[in-house]
Structure 1
Amino acid sequence: MTTERPLILVTNDDGITAPGIRTLIEVMNTLGDVCVVAPDSPQSGMGHAITINDTLYCDAIKVQENQPQREYSCSGTPADCVKLAVNELLPRKPDLCVSGINHGSNSSINVIYSGTMSAAVEAGTQGIPSIGFSLLDYSLDANFEPVKKYVKQVAEQCLKNGLPKGVVLNVNFPKAKEAELKGLKICRQANAHWIENFDKRTNPLGREYYWLTGEFVNEDKGEDTDEWALANNYVSVVPVQFDLTAHHAIQEINTWDL
């Protein structure tokens, strides 16, 4: 790799063979020198988990002769992949980290569970401009063609302008044909939540187990949210901060008898 072109780290949570990451690699190869470090198996819903009580394995993957990127398959979580890439595998700190394209939504409250976004956040904590991309289609046959130009557009702007300190981008695409997409909309995260249920079952050996199910409920009627944008065929772009301090609450908590 040379330092003349931007160095771009590509990762995800669906695993290194997922169609979404293949699309992301294809687009990033037009923008810079690409290194892929991604989980060797699906890691959806892992959030910001890291491996501390087990070994981590990382194997170089042979790519086709016409593909310029380097690829590594990692036994760890999405956050592990970023840590390993930045500290061990890359010749220097990358100019950009992109994660995805996730098969399924990471809008609204889903951002806190997302391995896709946690990889982007991990890179962001290390001062790397970072973006998580997701498509509202869980199918392995999902069509990523309509979103390619938007992926490239957002990535190019991040490379050109950088991002505010402590901020990464959460980009979600509606499931729509290219002609139906209305463009990009900068949004806030919708105030929504899951009503969760646990389906209680019994396995063939007689042991009870639970299967998580739930219903997504959006109580936010604002037209400036990611959920509204996606419902109206816009690409939602939400700036996400990883400083979890509730600054607005400090003054109130200071009135307590502590």
Structure 2
Amino acid sequence: MKGTAQEKIILVTNDDGVTAPGIRALIEAVSPLGRVVVVAPDSPQSGKGHAITIGVPLRLDPVDIFEGIEAWQCSGTPVDCVKLARDKILHRLPDLCVSGINHGANHSINVIYSGTMSAAMEAAIEGVPSVGFSSLDFSFDQDFILSKKVAHTIAKKMLETKLPDGTLFNVNIPVVKEDEFKGIRISRQADAKWVEAFDERRDPRGKKYYWLTGEFVNRDSGEDTDVWALANNYASLVPVQFDLTDYKLKKQIEAEWKF
């Protein structure tokens, strides 16, 4: 890869696929900040979480769909895309990894399931400052103007700031008119989840099949959460960590349990 030593390399990925409108919007948002390289799935990979591909070959092919931007499509998961980008395309760690812009929310517990966030997390595991962007608008033809402004602002801040290794942000953007948007609010992950059920149906041959359904339930009344911020016309920015150790419980059982 050509480029000057001072040039920032920004890896762009997603989970909705390389042809999704959201990734084009994200490219437009961050391309003024450095050299953009895109590595994204060749088809939608929503809900894949941190899955990786094993047992079958991975394909990586160049695509010419973003003018002036080096772009590749990968047959694997969002995490596969980040791994291959580092090893086979960039041959170095990027200065920033941005993932999205996802079509749909990734606030609260959704961060666990999100391919958008897992791609960013994979880069963060390697020490790259990373961020996943999601819009609460699920529509394919949504207006990304506000989302692009938020993405540009945060990516610029990240490139200008010396951040700790493993920095990872989860950013969600509300569906709101620009003149009603209140800004970016640093938040915590809400205690909220999907109460799920499976809708049982039968196919024309009488065999059962199931559709996952559910209702989103917010059990958190705090005004410092991502869910509250989004409901009140803010974009939420949650610093995320991939160390899943429960240190409070660890301290308790160290004191109480004897082996």
Q: TM-score, normalised by structure 1?
A: 0.96
Query: In the alignment, what sits opposite 2:53?
Result: 51
8 Å CA contact 1:43–1:115 kept in 2: the answer is yes
8 Å CA contact 2:96–2:159 kept in 1: the answer is yes
Counterpart AA for 1:76? G
Q: Distance in 1 between matches of 2:100 and 2:162?
A: 19
8 Å CA contact 2:41–2:73 kept in 1: the answer is yes
Q: Distance in 2 between matches of 1:228 and 1:164?
A: 27
- 3-state SS of 2:50 partner: coil
Counterpart AA for 1:237? L
**Residue 244 (1) aligns with residue 244 (2):** yes
**Residue 16 (1) aligns with residue 18 (2):** yes
- 3-state SS of 2:109 partner: helix
Shift in Å at residue 77 of structure 1? Answer: 0.4
8 Å CA contact 1:147–1:178 kept in 2: the answer is no
Query: In the alignment, what sits opposite 2:221?
Result: 221
Q: Distance in 1 between matches of 2:91 and 2:34?
A: 14
Q: Distance in 1 between matches of 2:89 and 2:165?
A: 25
Shift in Å at residue 215 of structure 1? Answer: 0.3
When residues 166 and 123 of structure 1 are mapped into structure 2, their CA distance, relative to the original with a 3 A threshold, is same
- 3-state SS of 1:134 partner: strand
Q: Distance in 2 between matches of 1:206 and 1:178?
A: 50
Q: Equivalences for 1:67-146 in 2 at 5 Å?
A: 67-146=67-146
Percent identity, aligned pairs only?
59
Q: Equivalences for 1:159-178 in 2 at 5 Å?
A: 159-178=159-178
Residues 198-223 of structure 1 show CA distances to partners (whole Å, capped at 9, x for unaligned) of: 00111122221111000000011110
Shift in Å at residue 98 of structure 1? Answer: 0.1
Query: In the alignment, what sits opposite 1:182?
Result: 182
8 Å CA contact 2:126–2:166 kept in 1: the answer is no
Count how many residue pairs are aligned between Structure 1 and Structure 2. 256
8 Å CA contact 2:38–2:71 kept in 1: the answer is yes
- 3-state SS of 2:58 partner: coil
Shift in Å at residue 82 of structure 1? Answer: 0.3
Counterpart AA for 2:220? D
Q: Distance in 2 between matches of 1:246 and 1:34?
A: 37
- 3-state SS of 2:32 partner: coil
Question: Which residues of structure 2 form unaligned runs of 5+?
Answer: none
Shift in Å at residue 166 of structure 1? Answer: 3.0
Shift in Å at residue 35 of structure 1? Answer: 0.5
8 Å CA contact 2:128–2:166 kept in 1: the answer is no
Q: Distance in 1 between matches of 2:191 and 2:149?
A: 29
Q: Distance in 2 between matches of 1:123 and 1:147?
A: 22
Counterpart AA for 1:155? A
- 3-state SS of 1:30 partner: helix
Query: In the alignment, what sits opposite 1:192?
Result: 192
Query: In the alignment, what sits opposite 1:233?
Result: 233
Shift in Å at residue 28 of structure 1? Answer: 1.6
Query: In the alignment, what sits opposite 2:3?
Result: 2
8 Å CA contact 1:167–1:242 kept in 2: the answer is no
Runs of 4+ aligned structure 1 residues displaced above 3 Å come to none
Counterpart AA for 1:2? G
Question: Which residues of structure 1 form unaligned runs of 5+?
Answer: none
Residues 147-190 of structure 1 show CA distances to partners (whole Å, capped at 9, x for unaligned) of: 22221110011111143333300000001121111101000000
Shift in Å at residue 124 of structure 1? Answer: 0.1
- 3-state SS of 1:29 partner: helix
Shift in Å at residue 140 of structure 1? Answer: 0.2
Q: Distance in 1 between matches of 2:201 and 2:69?
A: 45
Residues 110-165 of structure 1 show CA distances to partners (whole Å, capped at 9, x for unaligned) of: 00000000000000000100000000011101110122222111001111114333
Query: In the alignment, what sits opposite 2:40?
Result: 38
- 3-state SS of 2:240 partner: strand
